[in-house]
């Protein structure tokens, strides 16, 4: 267990998990095709929501550069490890992982945060009974609290800024008319000061051709309306953003008032909205 813990802590584990979870959620929502941007939306089937855990396994393997193995998901420091995640309150531990090391991630969607524990899934720590039809059993809460190793503290999960739109604004931005250039312009106005990832633009342009080109056209229109739209793909934009205290990464956009000084972008955590 110590070998696995040490190996993981040699890496920016919270950041890598944050990126992995965000990618898994985006994959399930499939915003570029469906126009969905909120995993808690009634439009998302509970089965889809639960599938985030399965997708997260592959994102973790990719981000940590780990091999895919059997019967457990991977090996860390030559130790077999299973990767589990839940958007609920517990994990389903398969029979092959009983008494084995597991990385157990809990994603709290309403609180918009996540945490991961390293635990050995002793059978005495699993709920009694035979489990479900596949033999999967849940981990006792006191075992998680008293005998597992938290790999990092509760960590905020970046929010798709489209979730900040009012119902009225969202209905206008996702309407079939006007065209996507004008709808993207509306989005930039509504989300002024928020960092907007590429995926959000693709979601607004769901089902349409080349939303990124339309976003560039909306940028030109925004300038005429006194709104400065910056994109992290352009060096000039990154320099302007940096001068205003904003770190803009590749693929990220932000709309700012064209005149005067702007402070840091608004934080993308829902916790501040509650």
Domains of the chain, by residue range, sit at 2-156, 161-273
Torsion sign across C-alpha atoms 34, 50, 88, 151:
negative
Instruction: Identify whether the C-beta of residue 134 lies closer than 8 Å to the C-beta of residue 94.
Output: yes
Asked whether 236 and 219 are in contact (CB, 8 A), the reply is: no
Query: Is 161-273 assigned to CATH 1.50.10.10?
Result: no
What's the fold here for domain 2-156? Answer: ECO RV Endonuclease; Chain A (3.40.600)
CA distance 132 to 237: 53
The whole-number pLDDT of residue 143 equals 75
Strands (E), 122-240: 149-150, 155-156, 195-197, 227-231
pLDDT at residue number 144: 77
**Which residues lie below 8 Å from residue 222, measured CB to CB, with a gap of 6+?**
185, 188, 189, 228, 229, 255
What residues contact residue 206 under an 8 Å CB cut-off, 6+ apart? Answer: 31, 32, 33, 34, 35
- Which neighbouring-strand residues pair with 118? 103, 149
**Radius of gyration of the CA atoms of the chain, in A:** 21
* pLDDT for 129: 55
Residue-level pLDDT, tens digit, the chain, 274 residues: 999 999 999 999 999 999 999 999 999 999 999 999 999 999 999 999 999 999 999 999 999 999 999 999 999 999 999 999 999 888 888 899 999 999 999 999 999 999 999 999 888 888 755 544 456 888 877 777 778 999 999 999 999 999 999 999 999 999 988 999 999 999 999 999 999 999 999 999 998 889 999 999 999 999 999 999 999 999 999 999 999 999 999 999 999 986 544 444 444 433 333 2
Half-sphere exposure at residue 44, Cβ-oriented, CA atoms within 13 angstroms:
20
Q: Which distant-in-sequence residues (6+ apart) come within 8 Å of 132 by Cβ?
A: 92
Q: How far is CA 48 from CA 115, 214, 227, 245, 265, in A?
A: 21, 30, 38, 38, 32
Alpha carbons 139 and 142: distance in angstroms, whole number: 9
């Amino acid at each position: 267990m110590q070998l696995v813990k040490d190996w993981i802590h040699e890496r920016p584990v919270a950041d890598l998990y944050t990126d992995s979870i965000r990618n898994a959620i985006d994959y399930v929502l499939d915003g570029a095709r469906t126009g969905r941007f909120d995993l808690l939306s009634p439009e998302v089937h509970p089965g889809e929501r639960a599938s985030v855990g399965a997708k997260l396994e592959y994102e973790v393997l990719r981000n940590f550069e780990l091999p895919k193995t059997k019967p457990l998901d991977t090996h860390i420091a030559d130790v077999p490890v299973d990767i589990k995640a839940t958007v609920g309150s517990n994990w389903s531990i398969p029979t092959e992982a009983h008494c084995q090391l597991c990385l157990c991630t809990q994603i709290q969607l309403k609180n918009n945060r996540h945490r991961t524990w390293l635990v050995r899934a002793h059978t005495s720590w699993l709920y009694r009974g035979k489990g479900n039809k596949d033999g999967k059993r849940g981990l006792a809460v006191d075992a998680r609290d008293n005998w597992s190793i938290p790999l990092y503290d509760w960590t905020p999960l970046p929010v798709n800024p489209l979730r900040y739109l009012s119902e009225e604004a969202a209905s206008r931005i996702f309407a079939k008319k006007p065209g996507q250039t004008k709808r993207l312009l509306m989005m930039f106005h509504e989300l002024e000061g928020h960092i907007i990832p590429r995926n959000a633009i693709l979601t607004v342009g769901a089902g349409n051709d080349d939303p990124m080109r339309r976003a560039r056209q909306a940028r030109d229109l925004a300038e005429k309306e006194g709104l400065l739209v910056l994109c992290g793909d352009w060096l000039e934009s990154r320099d302007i953003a940096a001068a205003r205290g904003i770190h803009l990464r590749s693929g990220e956009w932000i709309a700012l008032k064209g005149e005067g000084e702007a402070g840091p972008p608004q934080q993308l955590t829902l916790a501040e909205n509650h």
